[in-house]
Amino acid sequence: MGTGDAVYKTKKYIKDKYFLMLLPDDLIIRNNCSKDMIKIHKKYKGSVIASMKVKKNNVDRWGIYSISKYLDKENFKIADVIEKPKAKNAPSNNAVIGRYILPKNIFDYLKNQKKGKGGEIHITDSIRRMILNKNLFIGHKFKGKYLDCGSMSGYINSGIEISKL
C-alpha cells in the first residue's frame, strides 16, 4: 500500500522518540550515510532526510523538496516536500533518498494518511503535513556514492559496482 503503510506496520516496535528508516533499494556506498545523519539529528534536534540533486527531467521518480534555509553547506531546512511531481510543478530538483530519521509521532499522522500519488499511502505525504505543522525536517546532502536500483540500467550497474567492492 506504499511506504507510509509499511512504516505504520512497525508502530509497535518503535520505542524511542526517533527512528531510522531505510529503503533497501537505495544503496549508498563508500560512506556511512546513516551515521552522518544521526550526528546531524543530534546537532539540530530534528528529523533528517538524505538527499541529492537529480536531473530536472527525472523529478517525477522522487520525493522533491524545497528549502527555506541553509543550516550549513550540507544541511537544509525543508520548506515543503511533494511526492513525484511533474517537472513543471516541481519546486526544485532536490530529491529524497531512502534514509530517514523520523519522529515517533509521525504515527499519529500515518494513522489517518489518505492515499496519494498512484493510490499509495506515502510517508512523504505525512512528512509534508508534519512540516506544515512546523516540525523541523532537514535535508542532508550525503557523502558517498549513490547506486540507483530503480531503473533497469541502474540496477545492472549497481550489481557491477558492488562486485568491485
What residues line the site for ligand G1P (CB under 6 A)? 3, 23, 26, 62-63, 83, 95-98, 122, 124, 150
Least distance from ligand G1P to the Cβ atom of residue 50, Å: 9
Least distance from ligand G1P to the Cβ atom of residue 127, Å: 9
Q: Which is nearer to ligand G1P, 40 or 96 (CB)?
A: 96
Report the C-alpha dihedral over residues 152, 64, 33, 48, rounded to 10 degrees.
-150
Count CA atoms within 13 Å of residue 162 on its CB side: 13
CB closest to ligand G1P, residue no: 63
Least distance from ligand G1P to the Cβ atom of residue 24, Å: 10
Report the C-alpha dihedral over residues 105, 106, 112, 115, rounded to 10 degrees.
180
Q: Which is nearer to ligand G1P, 9 or 42 (CB)?
A: 9
Q: Which is nearer to ligand G1P, 43 or 145 (CB)?
A: 145
Q: Which is nearer to ligand G1P, 43 or 55 (CB)?
A: 55
Exposure string over 111-134, b if 16+ CB within 10 A, otherwise e: eebeebeeebbbbbbbbbebbeee
SS3 of residue 112 by DSSP: coil
Our CA angle for 148, 158, 123, nearest 5°, is 30
Least distance from ligand G1P to the Cβ atom of residue 69, Å: 21
